[in-house]
Chain A
């Protein structure tokens, strides 16, 4: 039990679909993150939210749209994705954004057809 849950665990979508990934953390943390993990590449940080405010956007295409309604929930809205967006999308949280270790969810395995 990591304290960070993600749904769905697996998702297959077409390039014209709209879907959302959900992350919830039960650790009382203030910072939440979205990462993309592709085969044979390092984890790529996509977005950071600290106290519900977005503090970092690592040049992510606009077809990925994050939303953080409160410190416990984080969404990643997906639309008009490309096949190269297929990857494992990981959510993580930490107590605060700065000097704190991050705890990861199990990820959503996304396949874009």
Chain B
């Protein structure tokens, strides 16, 4: 199946620092999504990107849909303790059955050092 390479796998940063993570693939995607998962909870949608080159912000979060449609990045500015969690990228594409299929990255675990 399709794979998304998400990096870094983990990050240890100090409060107030900016964070950057990305996802790359050898396949083209129609949509890129970024989710955050807190411990013991399901993923929560942060940002959805629908057009190549699109740059979208949600508060301190900014994400971009790569121009080649094969990558996306997520930036978090001025990190705060509640940013701790696992961040997942997900790409959506047409499957062999003509349906939209969502493929998830392996996640980036963000830890903030006080």
Residues of A within 8 A of B (CB): 2, 4, 6, 40-43, 45, 48, 55-56, 90-92, 97-107, 109
Contact = CB atoms under 8 A, between A and B. Distances in A.
Contacts of A101: 31, 33, 45, 48
A102 to B, nearest CB: 6
A97 B88 contact: no
B42 A107 contact: yes
Contact of B105 (A2, A42, A102, A107): A42
B46 to A, nearest CB: 11
Contacts, number: 57
A107 B99 contact: no
A103 B48 CA distance: 12
Contact of B100 (A6, A98, A104, A109): A98
Contacts of A99: 30-31, 92, 100
Contacts of A43: 43, 88, 90, 104
